Amino acid sequence: FDCCGYYNSTSPPFVTDATCTTPLVAAEKEGCVGPFSSFVNSTLDAIFTAIFGIVALDMILLICVAVLSKDRKEKERYQLIDAKVGLQAI
């Protein structure tokens, strides 16, 4: 992320590492709140989009199951009517 500290290099104090080697270098860099927020926001947007895409597929599947169930019940009903009348199922 190429940043030091959270809001800035002193709040909270930065950890010395390869990016923030000295307090002078850390003071020149911005805080990490902006880059972290942008990264987390884009990642969560992708996750929520995928989850809600799956919900749409589930709804389509649910509608298909309801249509097929109704069709099977209707065919069974007509077979019973034909059996009462004495006709064989086609």
Q: Decide if pLDDT at 30 tops 90.
A: no
The answer to whether residue 8 is domain-embedded is no
Cβ proximity of 14 and 4 under 8 Å: yes
User: What region does 5 belong to: left with phi over 0, alpha with psi -120 to 50, or beta?
Assistant: left
Is 14 domain-assigned? no
Residue 74 inside a domain? The answer is yes
Position 70 in a domain: yes
62 assigned to some structural domain:
yes
Q: In which band, very low, low, confident or very high, does the pLDDT at 47 lie, cut at 50, 70 and 90?
A: very high
Q: Is residue 6 part of a domain?
A: no
| pLDDT at residue 3 in the model | 80
Q: Is residue 75 in a domain?
A: yes
The range of the structural domain enclosing residue 67 comes to 32-85
Q: By mean pLDDT, which of 7-11, 27-31, 36-40, 76-80 is the weakest?
A: 7-11
Phi, psi of 59 (to 5 degrees): -65, -40
From residue 1, give the alpha-carbon distance in Å to each of 23, 35, 45, 55, 83.
17, 6, 19, 34, 75
Q: What's the number of domains the chain is made of?
A: 1
